[in-house]
Amino acid sequence: MQHLFPLLCYKYGQKHGVLAQTSVLLSCVCHVVLLPALCYSKDYFVKSRATYYGSSDGLGTTSGACGFGEYGRNISSGNVAGVYRLYKNGVGCGACYQVRCTRNPQICTKKGVNVVVTDYGQGDNTDFILSHHAYEAMARPGTADRLFAYGVVDVEYQRVPC
């Protein structure tokens, strides 16, 4: 396949002139070199903030804006979130994100938690309102109470496969 692109670029350029050949060659280079590089980039995190639902059972809400109902509380072992900017009029429902707090390395795990979007919501200038269970999962063992004491924490997130 990689040998086919230069041949196509050359044949197209012969038929349509030097300017077209240059344009097609540049396009081919972008598709062959740059696009795969973008697809394989890892660890691109966006900085934001997160808080948590105040539910007593630690799960999400049954009245989530995504319409999952009771199922939305337990999906992904209860690691669910309401989102603000990522909701996108419902298109963001069901998307999965890795969210990790950056507040304090003695409290926060490096891995963070993977959550499923089940609701729309905004906290104190936050993009994520995590279930109690998901918020706790961002903390190292024995430090969850310290993380909850912050209420709102700085996080970074990236989209991940569900």
Domain-by-domain residue ranges, the chain?
4-39, 46-160
- Looking at per-residue pLDDT, the higher value among 30 and 151 belongs to 151
pLDDT for the residue numbered 74: 80
What topology is assigned to 46-160 in CATH? Barwin-like endoglucanases (2.40.40)
What does the pLDDT look like over 49-81, one tens digit per residue? 999 987 777 677 777 899 998 888 888 988 999
Mean pLDDT, residues 115-126 taken together: 91
Pairing of strands 80-83, 128-130: antiparallel
Percent of the chain whose predicted confidence (pLDDT) is above 70? 73
What does the pLDDT look like over 138-151, one tens digit per residue? 999 999 999 999 99
Cα–Cα dist 120/139, whole Å: 24
Q: Is 111 exposed, middle or buried (0-12, 13-18, 19+ CB in 10 A)?
A: exposed
Q: pTM of the predicted model, to two decimals?
A: 0.72
